Chain A
Amino acid sequence: MKMKTSRAVILTIIAVLLAIYILFPFALVVLNSFKTQAAIVQNPISATGASFKQFASNLSAVVNNKNFSFWRAFGSSAVVTIISLVLLAVFGGMSAWVICRNKTKWSTVIYMTFISSMIIPFQVVMLPLIATFREVGKYIGLGMNGTLPGLIFAYCGFGGAMTVFILTGFIKGIPYELEEAAAIDGCSPEGTFFRIIFPLLKPTIVTVTILNGMWIWNDYLLPSILLGQNNPNKTLPVAVQAFVGSFVKSWDMILTAALLAMIPMIVIFLVAQKHIMDGMVQGAIK
């Protein structure tokens, strides 16, 4: 019995040490955004020189910086993420349902195309994507490069495969009798989908939304090449990159910006911790 308690103590100590190691960088960011550049350079791990007044001044310098313009970047990121997630959930559900409930040659071809496209690394389509968007934009007279709708369009295209993949797996498990019963009662196919299937998809939609949301919110490469570093509507990761580029080694500014960029995600995580961790796992093992 005594051996067991000592083992538990050792394990707890290890766990705590690991937690300290893993959370240490976050603590440093918080601590140092309360200090001046001089104080940070002098000693980054002590609390000397940290004050709320300095934090407020760092914060206002960062938020009002022209290269960063936090609120605007936050707004762009939020708009792009939310609209893309809603569209992906609805369109993905619709496509997955059609693919799953029609056992024809075409549905198999479409499904296999989606699945095999998941292995394509973004770098392969990155350059031709800009060209395609430019041509399509020129042709239809709508700006696709450098605009938020264009970015949302791209996210629907890139996120589609995984969304369909996960949702198809779930729809397969919904008994077909439900749809037959609805059809006998005079429900149209679109009514069947939106009134019966879509509500049943809710738990899987949550999973898909978390996976896509984490990816879209943190994505840097796609918005950076579609929008560009100097676009007024740039998203948060692009704004951080543009901002840091303009402040070489001004750690007070950089760390405050990093803190601002981290806060939204951490707040969401604290609220929906269980959902996010479950969603990430479910998405991976399917």
Chain B
Amino acid sequence: MNENTSNRKTLSMTLLGVGTILLIAALYMDFSKNYIRLGSFELRGAFLVLGALCVLAGIYFIPTILHHRAIINCIFLFPLLFTFAVTVIIPMFVGFFYSFTDWNGVTFTKMVGFENYAAMFKEPAFIWSLLLTVLFVIVNMILVNLVAFLLALLCTTKLKGVGFFRAAYFLPNLIGGIVLGYIWQFIFSNVLTKILNSPHSALATTKTAFIAIIVVYVWQYAGYIMLIYINGLATVPKDVLEAAQIDGASDIATLFKIKIPMIAATFTICTFLTLTSAFKQFDVNLALTNGGGTVRGFMGKRLSNGTQMIALNIYNTAFARDQYGYAQAKAILFFIILACVSLLQVRISNKREVEM
């Protein structure tokens, strides 16, 4: 036992020592700009990673029983917390800061205060995107939930081959929005024009293109929401339904008086899911219409982004127009709206659930 402890101690000290030396070497190379290379491969990064791993291993082997648990806790939390901090937390704060500057993606020259935020409310194209997104979210929330619920009712009846239908209805959800968008672009511009024998594609005018996005989105998403409703409907106790049947309740009465009130929690989940995902809609929008479509006279201007949702608007502001600071400000506003709406939705539903 004693020998074991002393072995651990030597191991721990060696690892800590080597790790620290590697880290210091990497840092030295950073500051002195004196990068040592092995062929074309820069050693600095390898030193840093190896050094960090050695230090972690060294800490792990520290011969202590009292603090071992605490050490394990830290080591276990480290990987995920580190990646999380670098990808989410730091960019979040950095982004908040950049939204007040004239950032161009690489550097910024000056702070502009609330100029970015003020400018977006004077930009008709952005207001249009914002309003369009709100309309899209409302329409989708209603349509997706309605269609999904009806599909769920259909799939919980004693139908032959119900398993096949469930799988078939769910299938579109497996495929990414980009691929689906192009498939539907083909359908709208080549297949439907042929079937309906009309010379114009539905994607050619703004209004029909917007409806097209909704059609694709409902088609893609309803199957998934349907599964959640099926799961909810399965939790309604059988004896309650039987009691209703014995009392002579009609199917419609059972549906509205028993099933729907009993799965109120499922409705909350589904409205939340459809709400947030419709707000963030990007892939189908990009692949299907790329935001195109003319709007004559909105806020006294002619717009060419008739079907552009807010996520795509932010993307284009940054990558097509190189206004990163401005795009970031739009993104922050988007975040605030999304956070408020989801909190509101959860609060309202919770209240309703209690009342029911």
Contact = CB atoms under 8 A, between A and B. Distances in A.
Interface of A: 8, 11-12, 14-15, 18-19, 22-23, 25-26, 28-29, 32, 40-41, 43-45, 87, 91-92, 94-95, 97-99, 102, 110, 113-114, 117, 119-133, 136, 139-142, 153-154, 156-158, 160-161, 164, 188-190, 193, 214, 217-221, 225, 237, 240-241, 244, 251, 254-255, 258, 261-262, 265-266, 269, 273, 276-277, 280-281, 284-285
Interface stretch (B136-144, B182-190, B252-260, B292-300): B182-190
B184 A160 contact: no
B331 A126 contact: yes
B273 interface: yes
Contacts of B90: 128, 132
Contacts of B223: 22
Contact of B165 (A19, A122, A277): A19
A246 B318 CA distance: 22
B328 interface: yes
A157 B183 contact: no
A240 B83 contact: no
B182 A240 contact: yes
B98 A12 contact: no
Contacts of B306: none
A43 B194 contact: yes
Given A91-B79, A127-B318, 9 more contacts: A117-B88, A128-B92, A132-B90, A141-B43, A154-B87, A157-B85, A189-B69, A221-B283, A269-B167
A189 B68 contact: yes
A189 B77 CA distance: 14
B186 A120 contact: no
Contact of A277 (B91, B167, B178, B319): B167
Interface stretch (B2-10, B115-123, B206-214, B332-340): B332-340
Interface residues of B, number: 99
Nearest to B44: A141
A262 B179 contact: yes
B238 interface: no
Contacts of B72: 98, 188-190
Nearest to B336: A124
Q: At the interface, is chain B mostly helix, strand, loop or mixed?
A: helix
A280 B224 contact: yes
Contacts of B159: 8, 11-12, 15
A25 B219 CA distance: 10
Nearest to B266: A285
Nearest to A138: B30
B19 to A, nearest CB: 15
Interface in B150-207: 151, 154-155, 157-160, 164-180, 182-184, 186-187, 190-191, 194-195
Contacts of B230: 281
A186 to B, nearest CB: 11
**8 pairs of A and B residues whose beta carbons are closest in the complex:** A157-B87, A218-B176, A141-B44, A142-B45, A141-B45, A128-B91, A128-B95, A94-B76
